[in-house]
């Protein structure tokens, strides 16, 4: 019997989280200016959605207070992080010192296009108005709940 044919009524949440963690993803920082100050959140759910129109997506938790504040701005930037941002990404939110992310691998200036509830997260869609690219990308990767580099050892 194939796995998709199984009709399991419950899934162990620890197994599910571990299974999700087996999919390596990039790491992005979503930020916006709210009440004169920059604020943001780390996401590993960033994805390209469409070239025409230019759309991206990410999935913050529905309980995220930070996303509630960013949403109110109506516009945000998404920065794809490189290995040079590892300390920044690992820092607890309160300890994450604001920094210019001019050296992000890619940055997208967006306006909020749509937001859809999906379980315990939101699917946020942003319309891209501008992009900036770094010349030499070395991505920060999230795998098995840990940040990694693709650099050969």
The DSSP secondary structure of 32-72, one letter per residue, reads: EEETTEEEEEEES--EEEETTTTEEEE--BTT-HHHHHHHH
Residue 96 confidence (pLDDT): 65
Residue 148 confidence (pLDDT): 87
DSSP structural state of residue 94: G
Token duo for residue 30: 């979503």
Residue 2 confidence (pLDDT): 59
Helices and strands (H and E) in the chain: how many: 3, 10
Structure pTM?
A: 0.87
* H or E segment to which residue 27 belongs: none
pLDDT along the chain (153 residues), means of 10: 62 91 92 91 95 98 95 96 91 68 94 97 98 90 88 58
User: What are phi and psi for residue 66, nearest 5 degrees?
Assistant: -60, -45
Domains of the chain with bracketed CATH: 25-149 (2.30.110.10)
Residue 151 confidence (pLDDT): 72
């Amino acid at each position: 019997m194939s796995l998709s044919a199984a009709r399991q009524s419950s899934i162990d949440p620890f197994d599910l989280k571990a299974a999700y963690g087996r999919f390596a993803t990039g790491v992005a920082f979503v930020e916006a200016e709210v009440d004169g100050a920059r604020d943001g959140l780390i996401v590993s759910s960033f994805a390209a959605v469409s070239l025409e129109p230019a759309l991206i997506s990410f999935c913050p938790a529905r309980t995220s207070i930070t996303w509630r504040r960013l949403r109110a701005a109506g516009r945000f930037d998404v920065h794809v992080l490189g290995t040079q941002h590892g300390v920044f990404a690992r820092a607890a939110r309160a300890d994450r010192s604001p920094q210019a992310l001019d050296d992000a691998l890619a940055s997208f200036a967006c306006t909020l296009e749509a937001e859809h509830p999906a379980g315990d997260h939101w699917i946020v869609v942003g319309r891209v108005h501008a992009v900036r690219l770094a010349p030499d990308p070395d991505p920060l990767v999230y795998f098995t709940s840990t940040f990694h580099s693709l650099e050969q050892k």
